[in-house]
Amino acid sequence: MNELRDLYQEVILDHRKKPRNFRPMEDADSQAEGHNPLCGDQITIFLKVRNGVIEDVSFQGDGCAISMASASLMTEVLKGKTPQEAEDLFGKFHDLVTDNGTHRGEGASLGKLEVLAGVKEFPMRVKCATLAWHTLHAALEHKNQVVTTE
């Protein structure tokens, strides 16, 4: 179990140090800003949807290792998905990190996103892990607003 936890920590730290898709997107269809006032995480999600599919997604911001790693991992898994598939993934991911008992993700692998499962052991960090996802939701709905985790 410790080896698995060490691997998860390595993946999170790698995504924090070298975030994927960390860039502004000049030709984004929509974007939204998110803020976690409890720890100061700030993020902007940029989204480009073409022909009903997420063609590109990127982010910029600053925050703790968990929020930055979550955003980085999220951008990797969303490309090529439909907006509805993205919303479904958010629900499954939220269940994974909160362990709220609805089990939308039961039987379905979340792939790389599963490295953040340990966040549920630290309830104060759940908002860090889900900030990018809440901000993505606002971008999908073309709500160019600041999303807070309060």
**Residue 145 has what pLDDT?**
64
| Sheet containing 146-148, strands listed edge to edge, beginning at the edge strand earlier in sequence | 53-62, 41-50, 30-36, 146-148
Domain containing residue 14: CATH number: 3.90.1010.10
**Residue 134 has what pLDDT?**
94
Residue where the block lists tokens 């100061």: 40
Q: And the tokens for 134?
A: 């809440």
Q: What are the 10-residue block averages of pLDDT along the chain, 150 residues in total?
A: 72 92 96 91 96 97 95 96 96 87 56 89 90 95 72
Q: What is the C-alpha separation between 139 and 132, in angstroms, rounded?
A: 10
Residues 6+ apart with CB under 8 A from 27: 48
Q: Report the number of distinct structural domains present in the chain.
A: 1
pTM: 0.88
The SS3 of residue 141 is coil
**Residue 1 has what pLDDT?**
60
- Sign, CA torsion 60/65/71/72: positive
Residue among 117, 115, 114 nearest 99 (CA): 117
Domain containing residue 80: 2-148
**Residue 10 has what pLDDT?**
87
